[in-house]
Structure 1
C-alpha cells in the first residue's frame, strides 16, 4: 500500500484575513510552501519593481524644490535656515561602506543599497554562494534575491524582508515626489462586540481606511475590518465622512 502524504496548507505569515461567504473573517492560505499569500507576494513584487525604477531618479531630486510638496503634509516653521540639498535623498543614495576601527571597510553598505544588500547577504550565507560583486549596487543585490526567489518566498524571514522593502519603497517614492495615495474614504460599517477590530462590549463605528484594490480597480476594501465595497459607493462614503467631520 502506498502511503499518502497530506500537506497542511500554510496561512500567510503577515496575518492576512478575508471574509468568507458567511461574512466571517478567516485566514488567507498560501500557495505551495510559501510563507506569504498571493496578494502579499504581488505587493512585494511591486515594491521591488518601484525600488528598481525610483532609485536611479534620486540624482535628479537632490535640490530643494525639485519635487512638489506632499499636498497632505503639514507645514511647520523651522528656527534654522533650510539646507541647500535634500538630506533624505543623499542618505538614500549613499553607497559608502561602514568602517571597522575607522579604517577597514566591511561588506555592509549604507543607503538604499545597504537595505537590500543585507537581505542579499542573508541569501548568500544560507545558500553558500561564494561569489561577490566588485561593487554592490541595487541591480547586483536584487539579482541575488531574484535568482533564488522561490526559495526566498519559503523562508520564515520573508515577512521581515517585505517590511523593509515596503519602507524603502515608501522612502524612495517620497524622495522623487511620488506620494502614496490617501484613503478613498472611511469605513461606515458598525462593528459588533466580538468582531475583528472591536475589543469593547458596545457596537462601534469601524472608520478604517478604504483603499482601492490593485487587482480589482472597481472595488475598495477596508484595511481594518476587510469589508469590500463597490466602487460606486466611494462618493457616498466620502460624503458620509465629510458629514461626520462637519466639513460639508
Structure 2
C-alpha cells in the first residue's frame, strides 16, 4: 500500500530538480501524476521515468504565469483522471544576474513574481473549486528559506517566496474548514540546476559558491532533491492530517547560523 494510493496529483515544474523528485516519489507511492512544465523535453522525460517504473502519469505543457494555461491544466487533469487530490506548486524561476534591489528592471521583477507567486495562486485558483466539489484536497507550496530571511541581491526572488508563504497561510485559514489543507515547504540550498544558475548569477563558480554557503550549513552539504520530496510527500499524505498553514523548513539549519 502506497501513501497516495488512489489519488491524483499535479506537480508544476516537474521537468527537473525538486519537481521531478516529487513527481517520481508520488508515483512510487501510488499517485497518478500530472507533470506540468514549460520544458517539454524535461516533462516528457519525467513521465517516461514514472512509466518505466510502472507508474501512471502524463505531461501538460503549461506556463503557470498564464491564467489560460493554469485553467487548462486543471481541466485536462479532471478530463483525464476525473479527480484532483493534490496540487504541488513547485514551478519557480531565479534571476540571470544578482544585483541590488534598485537595479532590477520592472520586467525582471514582474517575470519572477508572475511565475513564483502569481503562478501558484493561479493554479490554486482553478484547483480549489475541484477540491471543494470532492470535499477534500491538499495544496503544497514550495517556497524557500529566502522567503523567511532575505537573500541579498535577489530581491524579486526573496519577495516572491515570502509572498508564497503568506499565500499558503491565507488559503489555509480560508479553506481548512472546507476540507482543503494548505502547507508549504521552505528548502535551503539544494543540488539542482537552479543552484548552478545561482552561482553564475553571483559571478562565481558552483564549487566556490557551495564552499561559501557550506560554512553556514551544519550538515555540511546541499540537500538532494529527494530529501525535499520526502517532506512534500509527508505534507501530501494522511501522515500530516493535522497540519494546515505550516511552513516546514528543510535547510540543514542554514537559517540558524
Output the TM-score relative to the length of structure 2: 0.21
Higher relative CO (Cα under 8 Å, sequence separation at least 6) belongs to 2
Q: Is the radius of gyration larger for structure 1 or structure 2?
A: 1
1 or 2, which has the higher helix percentage? 2
Output the TM-score relative to the length of structure 1: 0.22
